[in-house]
Amino acid sequence: MPPRKRPQDGKKVDPPMKKAKEKHVVALILARGGSKGIPLKNIKKLAGVPLIGWVLRAAHDSGLFDSVWVSTDHDEIAEVAKSFKAKVHRRSLEVSKDSSTSLEAIQEFVKDHPGVDVVCNIQATSPCLHPDHLSEALKLITKDGYDSVFSVVRRHQFRWKEVNEGGSEVTVPLNLDPKNRPRRQDWDGELVENGSFYFSTTSLIKKGILQGGKMTYYEMKPQYSVDIDIDIDWPVAEQRVLRYGYFGKVPPEVVRLMFCKLSGCLTDGRIAISSSEEEMVSFHIRDMEGLRMLKSENVEVVLLNCSQDPIGQSLVEKLRERTGCEVLTVGKKPLEDLQPFLKKKKLEWKDVAYMGNDGADADCLNQSGLSAVPGDAPADAVKAAKYSCHHTAGNGAVREFSEYILLKKQEAKSKREQVRVDCLDSGYATPSSGSQSTESVFSK
């Protein structure tokens, strides 16, 4: 069977889908605290974001759902869910056991929320899910009349029957003829569930069925089919997410300015005093190179000196000279202090990348198009940031965030060019001529 075409395959795209008016649709992510493989796996940081945050961001930004819920039995998971604007369903002990099934947890939710018509069960461990995946799948229910839709991926793998070791039974092929072994390009492959999401009407769920009635699948491309199962998958998944994950509604190519705190980001926050009573700070040469990389790509860099814990004026002048960056002083509320500067530059917060290190930076971290904190930042700053660096303050964190910004800008540029080519190949107008882009490119 030929694959169901997606927008990036050249298919003309409908305008963004609004909330379904005829049906009450909710997203539900199951996140039990008792993971046996990786402790609290659902909120472990993946590419700087709690694992569950990736799907919550995609669900929320899709605009499809009347509400987005996390079903959990764990306080810490509940707090993370709320920080991503999700509602929390406190699941009972009866459906929080190791032996409990996903269907049982979904049925409990439906019983407690009788007004819901359609549930989208999104797997917390699918961090490369995008809003358009959900939008296209939901249309199959709201427009085409299906009762259940689930995600699949196409695999080209030959399967063989398992036999007991030491037994007399021999294995046999399950999906090929060894005498006529096909080339990969001559074989359509097979569709297998990737577990990213399951849409189902509540009438089916109440009957104990998640996939039934008039049902169909939604095919996702392999690069988006990432499932975190075991710890060894984590580094591989992190690289995949950095390339294919969904980073939010703000196009990263519009980042034109980076604000970076001096103390606690570019430096480690310590000030040494010499025997002659001169103040001294240290910075990592890699971080300085990161700033130069940004400036070479036409991203203006402005360093921030906090009046609450200031670096002395003589040191500020030396840093200004060494980095070639403007230095501004901010107080207890950096957001208010920086607003006039942005207005003068005719920029908005979505055009800004911000690197902070404390709770006072939370508003700036939240509102910026891209934002990050060093690896040793306090919890309130980490929760507000869109990216949490592996490196610590004064020890490579600025370079790491600089590389991250440039990576997202390059990906956006490549995807924008691919959209243009796809539109030309399919005979549709390109986004620059007024049509809608066939695939959104985002940054959180």
What residues act catalytically? 181
First to last CA, the chain: 36
Residue 376 neighbours by CB under 8 Å, 6+ apart: 392, 393
Across the strands, what pairs with 217? 150
| Calpha distance 27→118 (Å, rounded) | 9
Report the C-alpha gap between 106 and 30 in whole angstroms.
Answer: 8
Distance of CA 112 to the CA centre of its chain: 29
List, in sequence order, every residue forming a beta bridge with 45; answer none if it has no partner. 50
Helix axes 397-426, 233-244, angle to 10 degrees: 60
Tokens at 223, concatenated: 């690069």
